Amino acid sequence: MSKKLYIINGPNLNLLGKREPEKYGNISLDKIKTLCSEKCISHNLDLNFFQSNIEGELINEIHKAIDDGNGIIINAGALTHTSIGLLDALNMFKEPKIELHITNIYSRESFRHKSYVSPVVNGIIAGFGFSSYLLAIDAIKNLIKD
């Protein structure tokens, strides 16, 4: 039986490929979803890929994962630096969690250096462009119990 992986994407990530390509690259979120799906198939993971610009919808998706998820990879976007609600929801999910960023948040503006997500995740992958997603899938596969 395959394990269920939630990849949850926050605000403005729906504009990947158009939004500041010098920082975020030219690949769309749909293309990233396809690449993630292929990687998950190779790891026998059932992928639930989600994006919203609305904080409450992201929290609801984490709540769904509490019931049937075996792992979460979260790219919370700007909410990484502001959302105690996401922190609380992620803290309730007891399976492996990885925080993901396309850019290296520590080489950017100082307000991006604080993450409310980091204290409750197993690890952080940042700065590898769209490949951050693929690296995170490899990493979480090793954390999910068989």
Of 108, 100, 119, 97, which is closest to residue 51 (Cα–Cα)?
A: 100
Tokens of 75: 């790219």
Is 24 a known active-site residue? yes
Q: Write out the H or E segment, with its range, that includes residue 141.
A: helix 131-143
Q: Which of 6, 24, 116, 133 is catalytic?
A: 24
Q: 86 with 106: CB under 8 angstroms?
A: no
Q: In which region does residue 97 sit, left (phi positive, over 0), alpha (psi from -120 to 50) or beta (all else)?
A: beta
Exactly one of 6, 63, 81, 101 is catalytic; name it: 101
Which among 141, 117, 123 is positioned nearest to 59, based on CA atoms?
A: 117
Q: Is 63 a catalytic residue?
A: no
Active site amino acids = 24, 101
